[in-house]
Chains A and B, each alone.
Chain A
Amino acid sequence: MNFELIIGDELIPVVIEKTPHGWEIELGDEKVAVDAHWISENALSLIVKGKSYTIHVVPEGNGYLCYVQGELWSVARPQQDSDFGDEEQGAALGDKLKVKAPMPGKVIKINVEEGEAVRENQTLAVVEAMKMENEIKAAIEGRVKKILVSVGELVDADRVLIELEET
């Protein structure tokens, strides 16, 4: 069976064949014979060239999280019509003008007013989570266009707190 996988930006063709003692998995130019045994719903024991590995593979969103050798990898199936490229390009200016909460928390201070000019790195607001204060800074020089939250408000991660405009 042939299919393709994307690792980072790399597209890697994969071929998997059943063998008497496990599987033969071709990853790009490399051929790996593995003896695989599921030891629980989410944990896979793998023997490759006599070396033993345990891989934890847990469904997460549209794919899996894999923990192996102390490293955590995110694996996703491609979504139809999804376009990662656009998302990343659009991030340039638009995202810098939208000042977002980096994590869920409570707005405890707003340091600016609408119409105010701000410097890059200026603290615009303070969001508290787990009893620690986190200063939310401007990624770009500009002017405060709109303040979308008020002090005391609970916000989710990525909630836009303040909109800036270019000056």
Chain B
Amino acid sequence: MFRKVLIANRGEIAVRIIRACHELGVSTVAVYSEADRGALHVQVADEAVFIGPSPALESYLNMSKIVEVARQTGAEAIHPGYGFLAENPDFVRLCEEEGLVFIGPNSQAMALVGDKIRARQVVEEVGVPIIPGMKKSLDTLEDYRAAAREIGYPVMIKASAGGGGKGMRIVYREDDLLPALEAGQREAKAAFGDESVYLEKYLEEPRHVEFQVLADQEGNVVHLFERECSIQRRHQKIIEETPSLALDNELRFKMGEAAKKVMEIVGYTNAGTVEFLLDKDKNFYFLEVNARLQVEHPVTELTTGIDLVHQQLRIAAGEKLGFSQEEVSQRGHALECRIYAEDPANNFLPSSGRISYLREPVGPGIRLDGGVYAGFEVPIYYDPILAKLITWGETRAQACARMKQALEDYIIMGIKTTIPFLREVVQHPVFLEGKISTHFIPRYFSEWQPRPPSKESQKLALIGAALREMKEGRRASGQVIPAAEDSLSPWRILGPWRLGRRS
């Protein structure tokens, strides 16, 4: 095992990886930008090194700087987390050249799966079905227009270099192709430093089902079952779960074998995910390989009992997988909600600023992977994910009930978050029935607004504020206290004040 690992990331995932390292006796180096001096990952790491200005391009995406820090601090390996440099083949190559272990796939596999067009060709050749789409990257708008016509509208624009919904656009008509391409390329450039995009057929009503795979350096490959990630907004997953209600054991076996075959053919090593779309008739299509630890990895951990970050570290250190496919099983059901700093009542506008108050839920079957604390200033520069709330239950219904309660017990003040929105999603009858597809959110929640406040909660808020004001004994501005009255009594100095709007 390594003695020291550098974590080239921030936020909740950096915190989660640092904890896993410490559990294995590995010491950790955090890196941070100007905006992140106060960030949680800096606090929990053994060492922390400043790497540059706030924009990611000048800090978390600065490859040579990060490698230099690894050398200076004596780190033997770099864990990239997700996003930033996690799927950048140039970075993997740079690490290899510098004698640093990249905790992820080898550079050839990364380059292959990172080139989504080539990856699909390779995968198709071994008999795994793919979605109709472009077979090569294109130069001119005319080429894209012709390709879109051949595939047939609607088409999806996707960033070649990454996932997470960045750069992604659905185009229904040719008129909309040019502006969508431009916007997609700009977003792709900002998120991944690479503006190339490609087109593929957009399936209606699909489910998004992916398989977690682990592959060691000796060629052993196992999958750790599926995750269903159909609950998406703007092509960004917001709730994930496992197992998927859409799969029976036969389909699960078929898809699991296909996932392993994909990873074998691309020569993959370490943890990775094979994404599929499943159509209404239960046909599955290979989508892409996510060559990284994924945001939603905890649902797999809670149902299989396997710590994926530990496995990543072990595989990268050259250890052989400690279990076979037959030895892996799933127990119960797990759900994950992503908590974003976005205002769900205001078109999900990003909400940065200081977290003035934080209370995180606890209890049986509840796991919280967080990256923030009360007093933390959420910067504008990075992904708006604040934390992930994961619940486990013996059944899906129990996991959902726990999630509902945990979301209600989760208080974040000072910035807007998606918690109120998620709370309603996990109570929606169609969600509880499990009849979900990637169209669930657009169909049932596109015009979402917070429910009208209840009279009871208003009354309680009023009582709470009144008692707090009394406790503080604070003098309201401009309040005149008649001299005849006892000025020491809090009642005498409690001025008029108003219970304002619901925030």
Taking Cβ atoms with an 8 Å cutoff, the residues of A that contact B are 1, 3-8, 12, 14, 16, 23, 25, 27, 30, 32, 34, 36, 38, 42-44, 46, 48, 53, 55-60, 63-80, 102-106, 108-109, 128-134, 154
Contacts and interface: CB of A to CB of B under 8 A. Distances in A.
Interface of B: 166, 183, 186-187, 190-191, 234, 341, 346, 349-353, 356-357, 359, 380-384, 407-408, 411, 413-414, 420, 423, 453-454, 456-472, 476-478, 489, 491-492, 494-503
Contact of B502 (A43, A56, A72): A72
Given A77-B497, A78-B498, A130 B357 contact: no
Given A5-B498, A133-B186, A53 B351 contact: no
B413 A67 contact: yes
Contacts of A48: 460
A71 B459 contact: no
A130 to B, nearest CB: 4
B193 to A, nearest CB: 12
Given A36-B467, A56-B359, A77-B495, A131 B503 contact: no
Contacts of A7: 458, 462, 498-499
Contacts, number: 199
B187 A102 contact: no
A57 B359 CA distance: 12
A68 B465 CA distance: 11
13 contacts: A3-B495, A57-B464, A57-B467, A58-B356, A69-B457, A70-B420, A70-B423, A73-B457, A73-B458, A75-B500, A129-B352, A129-B380, A133-B186
Contacts of B463: 25, 27, 32, 34, 36, 46, 55
Contacts of A53: 460
A69 B454 contact: yes
Given A5-B497, A70-B408, A75-B500, A46 B352 contact: no
Contacts of B469: 64, 77
A60 to B, nearest CB: 6
Contact of B190 (A46, A71, A128): A128
A12 B462 CA distance: 10
Contact of B186 (A66, A74, A108, A154): A108
Contacts of A75: 461-462, 465, 497-500
Contact of B465 (A32, A57, A131): A57
